[in-house]
Structures are given as C-alpha cells and as structure tokens.
Structure 1
Amino acid sequence: MALAKAELQDKAAKTAVSAGLFGAAGVSVFWAGAALAAAAVLGLALVLPAWLAALATAGACC
C-alpha cells in the first residue's frame, strides 16, 4: 500500500509540473497573438486612419 501511495504522489507531482508548463505556454501564445494584432494595427495605420486600421484588424480576427 505504501508503494502505491508513493507512486501516485510521484505521478501527481509530475502531472502538476506538466500542467504548469502547459499553462505558461498558453499565456505565452496569448501575448504573442496580442503582439501580432498590435503589429497588424500599426502596419495598417501607415496607410489608413488609426481607428480604421484597428477596426479592420478586429474585423479580420473575429
């Protein structure tokens, strides 16, 4: 019984680390997407008014 408990504790610890890394990757992807959207707005703002560039980018994303 003690061996099974030790194995489950080890497995739970590894699962918790994996879940934390997966969550960190998700946050990184979110901020990378936000940066790309901002770059798209700024790029379009060179040829369009800023409000229209933001509106066009939001419309293309949704």
Structure 2
Amino acid sequence: MEAEKIKETVKKAAKELFRKYGYHKTSVNEIAKKARIAKATIYKYFESKEQVLDSILMDYLD
C-alpha cells in the first residue's frame, strides 16, 4: 500500500472504533486489527494514537 492509502485506512478504522468505543477505550492494537495492518505500520506513519486523532480532526477542519 502507498503511504497515503495506509494513513487513510488507519484513520477510517480509528474513526469507527472511536465512535463505537470512545477514544480512551480504543487501543492501537484494536485499530491495527480493524485496519488489517501491523501495529508497527501504524507507528511508521503516526507517533501515537493521539496523532491519529489529531489527523482525523485536521481532516474535518480542512
């Protein structure tokens, strides 16, 4: 997968999980499982779960 596609896949999975379980009850492991990618791949593109959320929020502001 190309970088932008991976980032979008992660954000899509995270959005679904954040909506369903909330930010604090969602782990990076769960995001990785939902996105069907390795946890390490998430950390290649995002420093933390917080940065995933920040990226999602920035998409809404743009």
**Structure (1/2) with the larger helix percentage:** 1
Give the TM-score of the pair, scaled to structure 1.
Answer: 0.42
> What TM-score does the superposition give when structure 2 sets the normalisation length?
0.42
Larger-gyration structure (1/2):
1
By relative contact order (CA 8 Å, sep 6+), the higher-ranking structure is 2
